[in-house]
């Protein structure tokens, strides 16, 4: 996926006057003018400045839904209340952070779950402001939903901003009291991939502009590779036109295209408003090669010809299952220049492939009088190798075995030499293949160079950069097939032969310790059966053999899924880890069976105090 996104970020800092946490309306209105207008009739005051605010009959948990034009003034404590005890607000900075959704009646634990706002939502206007009175040390936050604001979220159906206020009265009889505020918003949209002429930060793929030289940006352009279930969008300034006007139901393309077949027609957010457009790629893969685009253009009258429209932003949507990189044709071109480089960049995702064609190493007849030869790096005879930046020094590349950086099952790298003097390399990534990255490096590099008879480098002629998209995370664990896609650190690991009705097969059994190894993964292929079916949400309890909910034995653990793996993630605070280290050991388990009921793999996860192979506490 290629993105060229530029945006100028304007920071706003506001300090206001207040009195004992209560802001006179005229001062609220004054600040409202600075941030786009505050309507007194649509302002809700949430104030906790007195002991009775915390012990009143009102619920500990309160939800307010903001619609465009509405605001909340939120006060957590004042100087007088702080003199009587400790006042804390969670998170400490609601401008950049929020709490995750509260677990009812577990507020003391819920306040630890802090999320970065930028990771869960974006908005075209700022939603949270801070005001303080330096002399009286009274402050408050203003949470506002300005009109014409667009909010995008990773999970729009469940998005909320959460703030908690805690007061702990001084003295031996004091104990913490909580008030939790959940703020929801009307009309929240999915966070898309894409770009626009304004507000590029609302897109998932947004990157801040680091170009310090080019201060004036005249257009924004991005290329999005369509993936199953991906949401893609375009946003234009309100003073611009979207072209075509019915984008994305109508698009521009080099060939006639029935674009509806590449869209989820049941997607309810197809048109947000005249300047913000969304569409969703169907859940199944796009097999065809497609390229289409929409754009933002400066408003013009009807007589303006198409060629005269000034483009301010453009989004191109592509689906190219196979990338082709043909150095062979380039190296045979008459009059080839040694000052030009043929560059190929591409991504390989599940269901896709990347193809490189070059020439066999040897003399280049076009440069016979210079006695030059071409060389492909690394040598195709060194199967499974690539060029990568090694270590922290990224100035030098080295030839490495790809298996040192990634583990895979089903993904293939093949190379061949043909009679016409060409060499071919093909990277094939089937839909059901598994690729995990052992390091943050995801890009393989291949080069074609020209050198003289003394092997001195004269020129780079071609460079191919191949980004391999991982299908799953690199986890501790095991799975059917013993395919090497997991970390090798395991407290127990066995592979035994088993005779079944379908012949001999390997049975993989492993054990990992939740105290030492997380996240944990388990692989069961599509033609086999998970037991329990909703592993790890439900697990076998080894001591009783019965199936229990994960929350019953490990309430702090999360059951997740990736493309091919079932994942168990243990997120424990320091206090919980200390408790677990002294808790009696227990083992939970998931299995993978054939359709006939024969065991293929089993994973055992140690809960509580780690044990050795005989079940004894490891540190006893």
Q: Max Cα separation, the chain?
A: 95
> What is the predicted pLDDT for the residue at 161?
98
Q: Which of 96-100, 222-226, 365-369 has the lowest mean pLDDT?
A: 365-369
pTM of the model: 0.54
- Is 615 inside a domain boundary? no
Judge whether residue 15 has pLDDT over 60. no
- Nearest Cα to Cα of residue 444 among 412, 413, 468: 468
**Residues 333 and 313 occupy one common structural domain:** no
Compute the chain's Rg from CA coordinates: 30
User: In degrees rounded to 5, what are phi and psi of residue 390?
Assistant: -100, 135
What is the spatial distance between Cα 377 and Cα 361, in angstroms, rounded to a whole number? Answer: 10
Q: How confident is the model at residue 2 (pLDDT cuts 50, 70, 90)?
A: very low
Q: What is the pLDDT of residues 204-252, one digit of tens each?
A: 887 554 333 333 444 578 878 888 889 999 999 999 999 999 888 888 8
CATH number of the domain that 255 lies in?
Answer: 2.60.40.2860
- Is 171 inside a domain boundary? yes
Q: Which helix (H) or strand (E) holds 318?
A: strand 311-319
Judge whether residue 7 has pLDDT over 80. no
Range of the domain at 178: 2-190
- Is 586 inside a domain boundary? yes
Last residue of a domain, one of 174, 190, 206: 190
**Residues 331 and 376 occupy one common structural domain:** yes
- Mean pLDDT, residues 140-155: 94
Q: Which residues contact 616 (CB under 8 A, 6 or more apart)?
A: none
DSSP, res 533 = T
**Residues 39 and 185 occupy one common structural domain:** yes
- Is 362 inside a domain boundary? yes
Per-residue three-class SS string for 46-115: EEECCHHHHHCCCCCEEEEEECCCCEEEEEECCHHHHCCEEEEEECCCCCCEEECCCCCCCHHHHCCCEE
**Residues 162 and 59 occupy one common structural domain:** yes
More confident residue, 273 or 557: 557
**Residues 310 and 348 occupy one common structural domain:** no
**Residues 451 and 504 occupy one common structural domain:** no
Judge whether residue 125 has pLDDT over 80. yes
What is the spatial distance between Cα 552 and Cα 607, in angstroms, rounded to a whole number? Answer: 12
- Is 618 inside a domain boundary? no
CATH number of the domain that 451 lies in?
Answer: 2.60.40
Judge whether residue 393 has pLDDT over 60. no
Q: Which of 240-244, 507-511, 564-568, 577-581 has the lowest mean pLDDT?
A: 577-581
CATH number of the domain that 118 lies in?
Answer: 2.60.40.1320
Q: How confident is the model at residue 331 (pLDDT cuts 50, 70, 90)?
A: low
Judge whether residue 10 has pLDDT over 70. no
Judge whether residue 308 has pLDDT over 80. no
What is the spatial distance between Cα 575 and Cα 393, in angstroms, rounded to a whole number? Answer: 39
More confident residue, 588 or 133: 588
What is the spatial distance between Cα 160 and Cα 180, in angstroms, rounded to a whole number? Answer: 12
In the three-class reduction of DSSP (H, G, I as helix; E, B as strand; rest coil), residue 155 is classed as coil
Mean pLDDT of the chain: 80
> What is the predicted pLDDT for the residue at 210?
38
Q: How confident is the model at residue 137 (pLDDT cuts 50, 70, 90)?
A: low
> What is the predicted pLDDT for the residue at 333?
58
Judge whether residue 127 has pLDDT over 80. yes
Last residue of a domain, one of 432, 452, 468: 468
Q: Which of 125-129, 277-281, 455-459, 594-598 has the lowest mean pLDDT?
A: 455-459
Sign of CA dihedral 395, 399, 402, 403: negative
- Is 230 inside a domain boundary? yes
Contact present, 65 and 91 (Cβ < 8 Å): no
Last residue of a domain, one of 450, 468, 486: 468
**Residues 6 and 142 occupy one common structural domain:** yes
Q: Supply 274's token pair.
A: 């005249």
> What is the predicted pLDDT for the residue at 462?
78
Q: How confident is the model at residue 614 (pLDDT cuts 50, 70, 90)?
A: low
> What is the predicted pLDDT for the residue at 187?
93
Question: Interior CA angle at 501 toward 498 and 507, to 5°?
Answer: 25
More confident residue, 394 or 333: 333
**Residues 408 and 486 occupy one common structural domain:** no
> What is the predicted pLDDT for the residue at 350?
85
Q: Supply 270's token pair.
A: 């197809």
Q: How far is CA 59 from the centre of its chain?
A: 36
Contact present, 334 and 366 (Cβ < 8 Å): yes
What is the spatial distance between Cα 485 and Cα 433, in angstroms, rounded to a whole number? Answer: 11
**Residues 161 and 204 occupy one common structural domain:** no
What is the spatial distance between Cα 319 and Cα 287, in angstroms, rounded to a whole number? Answer: 8
How many domains are there within the chain? 4
> What is the predicted pLDDT for the residue at 156?
95
> What is the predicted pLDDT for the residue at 22?
41
Q: Which residues contact 167 (CB under 8 A, 6 or more apart)?
A: 48, 51, 54, 77, 81, 85, 86, 87, 88, 176, 177
Q: Which of 139-143, 171-175, 452-456 has the lowest mean pLDDT?
A: 452-456
More confident residue, 554 or 368: 554
> What is the predicted pLDDT for the residue at 19?
33
**Residues 69 and 121 occupy one common structural domain:** yes
Judge whether residue 146 has pLDDT over 60. yes
Contact present, 180 and 200 (Cβ < 8 Å): no
Q: How confident is the model at residue 307 (pLDDT cuts 50, 70, 90)?
A: very low
More confident residue, 306 or 495: 495
Q: How far is CA 450 from the centre of its chain?
A: 40
More confident residue, 494 or 65: 65
> What is the predicted pLDDT for the residue at 339?
60
More confident residue, 346 or 580: 346
**Residues 450 and 514 occupy one common structural domain:** no
**Residues 134 and 214 occupy one common structural domain:** no
Q: Supply 380's token pair.
A: 């195709």
- Is 616 inside a domain boundary? no
- Is 619 inside a domain boundary? no
> What is the predicted pLDDT for the residue at 369?
52
What is the spatial distance between Cα 307 and Cα 310, in angstroms, rounded to a whole number? Answer: 8
> What is the predicted pLDDT for the residue at 572?
67
Q: Which helix (H) or strand (E) holds 120?
A: helix 117-120
């Amino acid at each position: 996926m290629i993105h060229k996104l530029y945006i100028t970020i304007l920071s706003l800092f506001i300090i206001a006057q207040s009195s004992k946490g209560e802001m006179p309306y005229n001062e609220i209105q004054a600040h409202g003018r600075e941030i786009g207008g505050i309507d007194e009739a649509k302002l809700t005051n949430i104030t906790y400045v007195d002991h009775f605010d915390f012990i009143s009959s009102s619920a500990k948990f309160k939800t307010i839904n903001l619609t465009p034009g509405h605001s909340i003034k939120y006060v957590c404590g004042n100087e007088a209340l702080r003199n009587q005890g400790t006042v804390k607000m969670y998170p400490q900075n609601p401008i950049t952070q929020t709490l995750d959704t509260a677990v009812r009646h577990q507020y003391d634990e819920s306040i630890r779950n802090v999320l970065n706002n930028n990771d869960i939502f974006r908005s075209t206007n700022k939603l949270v402001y801070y005001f303080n009175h330096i002399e009286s040390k009274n402050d408050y936050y203003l949470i506002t939903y300005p009109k014409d604001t667009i909010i995008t979220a990773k999970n729009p159906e469940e998005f909320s901003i959460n703030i908690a206020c805690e007061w702990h009265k001084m003295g031996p009889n004091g104990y913490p009291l909580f008030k939790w505020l959940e703020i929801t918003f009307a009309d929240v949209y999915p966070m898309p991939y894409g770009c626009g002429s304004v507000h590029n930060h609302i897109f998932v793929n947004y990157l801040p502009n680091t170009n310090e030289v080019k201060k004036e940006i005249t257009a924004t352009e991005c290329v999005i590779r369509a993936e199953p279930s991906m949401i893609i969008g375009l946003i234009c300034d309100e003073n611009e036109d979207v072209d075509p006007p019915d984008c994305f139901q109508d698009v521009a393309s080099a060939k006639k295209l029935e674009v509806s077949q590449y869209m989820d027609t049941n997607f309810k957010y197809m048109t947000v408003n005249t300047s913000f457009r969304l569409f969703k790629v169907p859940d199944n893969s796009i097999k065809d090669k497609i390229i289409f685009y929409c754009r933002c253009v400066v408003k013009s009258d009807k007589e303006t010809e198409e060629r005269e429209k000034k483009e301010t932003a453009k989004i191109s949507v592509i689906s190219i299952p196979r990338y082709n990189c043909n150095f062979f044709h380039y190296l045979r071109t008459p009059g080839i220049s040694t000052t030009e480089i043929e560059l190929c960049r591409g991504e390989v995702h599940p269901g896709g492939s990347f193809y490189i064609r070059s020439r066999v190493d040897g003399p280049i007849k076009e440069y016979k009088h210079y006695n030059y030869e071409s060389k492909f790096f690394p040598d195709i005879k060194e199967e499974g190798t690539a060029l990568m930046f090694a270590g922290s020094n990224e100035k030098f590349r080295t030839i490495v075995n790809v298996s040192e950086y990634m583990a895979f099952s089903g993904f293939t790298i093949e190379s061949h030499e043909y009679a016409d003097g060409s060499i071919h390399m093909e990277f094939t990534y089937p839909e059901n293949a598994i690729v995990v990255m052992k390091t943050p490096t995801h890009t393989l590099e291949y080069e074609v160079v020209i050198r003289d008879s003394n092997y001195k480098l004269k020129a780079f002629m071609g460079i191919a950069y191949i980004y391999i998209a991982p299908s799953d995370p690199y986890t501790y664990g095991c799975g059917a097939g013993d395919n090497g896609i997991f970390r090798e650190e395991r407290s127990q690991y066995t592979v035994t032969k088993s005779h079944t009705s379908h012949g001999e097969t390997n049975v993989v059994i492993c054990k990992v310790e939740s105290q030492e190894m997380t996240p944990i993964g388990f692989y069961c292929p599509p033609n086999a059966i998970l037991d329990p079916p909703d592993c790890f949400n439900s697990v076998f309890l080894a001591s009783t053999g019965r199936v229990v909910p994960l929350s019953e034995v490990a309430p702090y653990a999360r059951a997740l899924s990736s493309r091919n793996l079932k994942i168990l993630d243990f997120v424990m605070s320091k206090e919980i880890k200390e408790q677990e280290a002294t808790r009696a050991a227990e083992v939970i388990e998931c299995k993978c069976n054939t359709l006939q009921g024969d065991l293929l793999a089993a994973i055992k996860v140690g809960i509580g105090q780690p044990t050795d192979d005989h079940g004894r506490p490891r540190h006893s």
